[in-house]
């Protein structure tokens, strides 16, 4: 005979499996997105048009994954009455997949500019900056996902701080590129393409930061969007 | 004596009030964001630094509203077990406030460039384009909110189509601005600021489109992100 308690536990175990599935689908989507960022930057730096085209084509799969996870989340919300902590998890994932999808969009844009730049011929101007900022945002995406995988709010906080560092470097790079343009107006079109790349990379950093904010909300229960670093640090220390 | 039916109705009426509150808070937030867009564009075109500063300051209020509505949504999800249609509503609002908040961010950026441009002195180059695209995206934000207020999927679909038109104009404008730069390299810094303005305006259009997609999902129950216009049109006609 199945006792009520068994039944409840069964339901709950099934629910756990559903949540675990969502978590692993989210991380799988994250892994794909991270690969897109890496490939997009590589296609740019190595003027590899074939790789750039691959990145553009793979963007559809990421969109597809977002829809699929989104549907799973809605199904869970409709069928279960998630407790507060599960609800927080479902909401954090729901918001974070939007950011992942947009990171994918920006990677596809970088690939588009990589194609344009490969056609126009080599443009070493701004490539140092692209490589540098590119490596950093790619690490941010990795760390944001890692923070999610390990429920590590401290790591997520470091991603938020990295984002501020990148914003500063981004502005410095833009000024450097502007100087190149003025020195050599014939390079304007090429240098602009590099600027758009940097812009996309900077946005990828923003999205990684958003994902990190969601993770902190999930782990600590406090909404750290639009909050000063000092205040976030205080909150993180309080709970440790 | 309170009958069970009355009680249920009372609970339900209270729930309705909560949903209605969220809807009106969402539209109020939307109204503020729309005003920010209008003010940001005006501050740019009229080189009105005071108005630009006002836009920057008001961005905090919008962030605050997003958090507040977000908390209300989570509270409702935790306390009620919303039926499928209410759930869809809650999710659509949850996603749309993120887009509203980001429209606010872009308006604040436009205000920042307006300040920089006002300091550098007048730059008529690109202002025609900014005015034109600015008026269009401001209408898109208005229509997207209007579609939400009236549950008008057809209007939301028109916003989606407007966004494609703007993307085309945006690209044309960028080419024009690039030509100005080449013709007069001393104008590069100013023209770049105008380019960033156009970029922000174009993103505002993207966010208005996202909100419209959410409304279509809400009214028609089908996810129209990454879907061709022909297919969306077919879906809209099927249900009419």
Residue ranges of domains in chain B, CATH in brackets: 4-239 (1.20.58.220)
Q: What gap in Å lies between CA A103 and CA A216, rounded to an integer?
A: 19
Q: Contact A84/B78, CB-based, under 8 Å? A: yes
Q: Which residues of B68-96 are buried (b: 16+ CB within 10 A; e: fewer)?
A: ebbebbbebbeebebeeebbbbbbbbbbb
**How close are the terminal C-alpha atoms of chain A, in Å?**
45
pLDDT band at A6 (very low <50, low <70, confident <90, very high): very low
Provide the greatest CA pair distance for chain B.
84
Q: Does A235 have pLDDT greater than 50?
A: yes
Q: Does A12 or B109 have the greater pLDDT score?
A: B109
Provide the chain B residues 70-89 that lie in CB contact (below 8 A) with chain A. 70-71, 74, 77-78, 81-82, 84, 87-88
Using an 8 Å CB-CB cutoff, list chain A residues near B181.
181, 185, 188
Chain B touched by A226 (CB under 8 Å) = yes
Nearest partner of B67 among A191, A179, A224, A118, judged by Cα: A224
B198 min Cα distance to partner chain A (Å) = 13
Q: Which residues of A61-81 are buried (b: 16+ CB within 10 A; e: fewer)?
A: ebeebbbebbebbbebbeebe
Using an 8 Å CB-CB cutoff, list chain B residues near A192.
178
**How close are the terminal C-alpha atoms of chain B, in Å?**
45
Q: What gap in Å lies between CA A58 and CA B184, rounded to an integer?
A: 40
Please report the ipTM that was assigned to this predicted complex: 0.84
> E strand or H helix at A115, and its extent?
helix A84-120
Q: What gap in Å lies between CA B26 and CA B37, rounded to an integer?
A: 17
- Which of B77, B82, B85, B203 has the most A C-beta neighbours within 10 Å, making it the best mutation to test the interface with A? B77
Per-residue pLDDT, B13: 80
Q: What gap in Å lies between CA B11 and CA B76, rounded to an integer?
A: 13
> pLDDT tens, A33-89?
999 999 999 999 999 999 999 999 999 999 999 999 999 998 888 888 788 788 889
A43 min Cα distance to partner chain B (Å) = 23
Q: What gap in Å lies between CA B142 and CA B159, rounded to an integer?
A: 10
Q: What gap in Å lies between CA A96 and CA A207, rounded to an integer?
A: 9
Q: Contact B226/A67, CB-based, under 8 Å? A: yes
Q: Contact B181/A178, CB-based, under 8 Å? A: no
Q: What is the mean pLDDT of residues A116-134?
A: 84
**Could you read off the pLDDT tens digit of each residue along chain B, which spans 240 residues?**
334 444 445 567 888 888 899 999 999 999 999 999 999 999 999 999 999 999 999 999 999 999 999 999 988 888 887 887 888 899 899 999 999 999 999 999 999 999 998 887 766 678 888 999 999 999 999 999 999 999 999 999 999 999 999 999 999 999 999 999 999 988 898 899 999 999 999 999 999 999 999 999 888 877 777 788 888 888 887 765
> E strand or H helix at B130, and its extent?
helix B127-150
Sign of the torsion formed by the C-alpha atoms of B225, A60, B199 and B229: negative
Q: How many CB atoms lie under 10 A from the CB of residue B151?
A: 12
The values of phi and psi at residue A74, to 5°, are -65, -40
> What residue of A is the nearest CA neighbor of B62?
A226
Whether the model clears a pTM of 0.90, i.e. scores above it, the answer is no
B25 min Cα distance to partner chain A (Å) = 19
Per-residue pLDDT, B3: 41
Q: Contact A182/B182, CB-based, under 8 Å? A: no
- Which of A64, A109, A223, A231 has the most B C-beta neighbours within 10 Å, making it the best mutation to test the interface with B? A223
Q: Contact A70/B192, CB-based, under 8 Å? A: no
Nearest partner of B21 among B89, B83, B104, B99, judged by Cα: B89
Q: Contact A63/B226, CB-based, under 8 Å? A: yes
Q: Are A22 and A69 in contact (CB under 8 A)?
A: yes
Sign of the torsion formed by the C-alpha atoms of A92, A93, A96 and A102: negative
Nearest partner of B103 among B29, B14, B213, judged by Cα: B29
> What residue of A is the nearest CA neighbor of B186?
A182
């Amino acid at each position: 005979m199945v006792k009520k308690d068994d039944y409840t536990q069964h339901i709950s175990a099934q629910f756990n499996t559903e949540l675990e599935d969502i978590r692993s689908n989210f991380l799988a989507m994250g892994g794909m997105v991270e690969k897109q960022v890496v490939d997009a930057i590589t296609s740019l730096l190595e003027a590899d048009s074939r790789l750039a085209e691959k990145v553009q084509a793979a963007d559809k799969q990421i969109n597809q994954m977002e829809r699929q996870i989104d549907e799973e989340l809605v199904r869970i919300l409709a069928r279960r009455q998630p407790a507060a902590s599960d609800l927080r998890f479902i909401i954090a994932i729901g918001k974070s997949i939007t950011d992942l999808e947009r990171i994918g969009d920006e990677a596809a844009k970088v690939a588009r500019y990589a194609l344009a730049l490969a056609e126009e011929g080599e443009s070493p101007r701004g490539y140092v900056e692209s490589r540098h900022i590119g490596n950093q945002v790619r690490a941010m995406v990795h760390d944001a996902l890692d923070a999610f995988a390990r429920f590590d709010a401290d790591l997520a906080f470091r991603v938020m701080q990295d984002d501020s560092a990148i914003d500063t470097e981004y502005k410095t790079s833009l000024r450097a590129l502007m100087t190149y343009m003025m020195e050599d107006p014939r390079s304007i079109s090429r240098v602009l393409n590099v600027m758009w790349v940097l812009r996309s990379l900077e946005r990828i950093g923003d999205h990684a930061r958003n994902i990190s904010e969601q993770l902190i909300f999930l782990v600590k229960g406090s909404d750290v969007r639009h909050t000063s670093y000092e205040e976030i640090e205080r909150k993180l220390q309080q709970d440790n």
